[in-house]
């Protein structure tokens, strides 16, 4: 499995000198099996713009799997050049909640935006999905609802090309009690998704000292993500959904502070490519 890291930021983009190494675009990963082009996209944040140049001039033919519908996970949709052309074929899958086209159009239609999802060029299908397993673009995908804030949110476990990843971009355990480190208990769905994964890609928006104040917004502390990785037996942890104000140097310091733990900890960097399997 090859993972193209197209956007790593949470909440809103972060342009500027202090953010160039980890990147300022919001959540988007593009997955390829073996040598093929990326065919499965996880979330459509502003990082989705970065996928088009990776396709060597071809239209996108594949699926986009949304974790949830917050702006930072959907804003890239109308700016996805390789998906907005007559020869594109795109299946967009999102947590089931009413008619998917209408739900998406609540944020993407006049007067909020000039066009609706149905006006994207090419052949687009919009589908709501339930929790459970399915095959998407040759990947085995397990969807489970995970606690977040303000809207149905799925985490995904994705297996293909000899590797398994767990993707929990936005997740807060606070509704489930204080937990072993005072940062929330490990939700059973989160543990199931991350169980023995080669790579756990997890919400790392907060650090422990911020958690009490900011947890009501639905995000995790880095220390919770590390504890979840340890509990679930994940091999590596990739911190994701960085706070929009978190500078490159601050992210470096977070990674350095957890260098000697039992699970290797890295921070997702826009433009990087991760090979697994």
Window of 70-78, 81-89, 160-168, 208-216 that interacts with Zn ion by CB under 5 A: 70-78
Question: In this chain, which stretch among 71-79, 104-112, 126-134, 224-232 interacts with Zn ion, using CB under 5 A?
Answer: 71-79
> Shortest approach of Zn ion to residue 28 CB, angstroms?
11
Per DSSP bridges, beta strands 123-129 and 132-136 are unpaired
Instruction: Mark residues 5-24: x for contact with Zn ion by CB under 5 A, - for none.
Output: -----x--------------
CB under 8 A, 24+ apart: contacts of 185-192:
186/227, 186/228, 186/231, 186/232, 187/146, 187/147, 189/144, 189/145, 189/146, 189/155, 190/144, 190/146, 190/155, 190/228, 190/232, 191/228, 191/231, 191/232, 192/142, 192/144, 192/157
By the rule CB under 5 A, 43 interacts with Zn ion: no
Least distance to Zn ion, CB of residue 12, Å: 9
Does 70 contact Zn ion by CB under 5 A?
yes
- In this chain, which stretch among 50-58, 63-71, 97-105, 130-138 interacts with Zn ion, using CB under 5 A? 63-71
Nearest-angstrom CA–CA distance, 211 and 226:
14
**What is d(CA 154, CA 68) in angstroms, rounded to the nearest whole number?**
7
In the complex, what is the shortest distance from the CB of residue 110 to Zn ion, in angstroms, rounded to a whole number? Answer: 24
CB of 83 to Zn ion, least distance (A): 20
Nearer to Zn ion, 10 or 38 (CB): 10
Binding mask 94-133 for Zn ion (x = CB under 5 A): ----------------------------------------
Strands 199-203 and 265-267: unpaired
Which of 43, 170, 223, 270 contacts Zn ion by CB under 5 A?
170
Residue 212: enclosing H or E segment and its boundaries?
helix 208-214
> Starting at the edge strand that comes first in sequence, how are the strands of the sheet with 123-129 ordered?
123-129, 89-95, 61-65, 40-42, 28-32, 2-7, 273-275
How far is it, in rounded angstroms, from Cα 5 to Cα 43?
11
Shortest separation between residue 212's beta carbon and Zn ion, angstroms: 20
Asked if 84 interacts with Zn ion (CB under 5 A), we say no
Q: CB nearer to Zn ion: give 50 or 70.
A: 70
- Establish if 72 lies at the interface with Zn ion (CB under 5 A): yes
Q: How many residues does the chain have?
A: 277
The residue (of 72 and 223) whose beta carbon lies closer to Zn ion is 72
Residues making contact with Zn ion (CB under 5 A): 10, 70, 72, 170
């Amino acid at each position: 499995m090859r993972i193209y890291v197209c956007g790593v930021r949470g909440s809103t983009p972060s342009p500027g000198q202090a953010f160039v190494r980890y990147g300022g675009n919001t959540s988007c990963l593009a997955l390829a099996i073996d040598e093929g082009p990326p065919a499965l996209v996880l979330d459509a944040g502003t990082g989705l713009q970065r996928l088009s140049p990776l396709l060597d001039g071809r239209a996108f033919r594949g699926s986009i799997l949304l974790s949830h519908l917050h702006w930072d996970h959907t804003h890239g949709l109308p700016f996805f050049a390789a998906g907005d052309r007559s020869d594109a074929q795109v299946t967009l899958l999102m947590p089931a909640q009413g008619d998917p086209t209408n739900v998406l159009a609540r944020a993407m239609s006049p007067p909020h935006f000039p066009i609706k999802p149905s006006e994207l060029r090419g052949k687009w299908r919009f589908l709501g999905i339930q929790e459970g397993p399915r095959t998407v673009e040759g990947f085995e995908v397990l969807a489970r609802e995970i606690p977040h804030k303000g809207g149905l949110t799925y985490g995904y476990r994705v297996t293909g090309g000899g590797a398994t990843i767990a993707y929990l971009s936005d997740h807060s355990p606070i509704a489930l009690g204080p937990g072993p480190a005072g940062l929330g208990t490990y939700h059973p769905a989160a543990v199931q998704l991350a169980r023995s994964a080669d790579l756990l890609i997890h919400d790392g928006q907060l650090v422990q000292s911020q958690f009490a104040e900011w947890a009501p917004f639905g995000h995790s502390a880095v220390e919770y993500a590390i504890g979840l990785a340890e509990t679930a037996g994940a091999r590596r942890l990739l911190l994701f959904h960085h706070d929009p104000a978190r500078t490159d140097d601050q992210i470096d310091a977070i990674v350095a502070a957890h260098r000697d733990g039992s699970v290797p900890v890295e921070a997702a960097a826009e433009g990087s490519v991760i090979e697994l399997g």
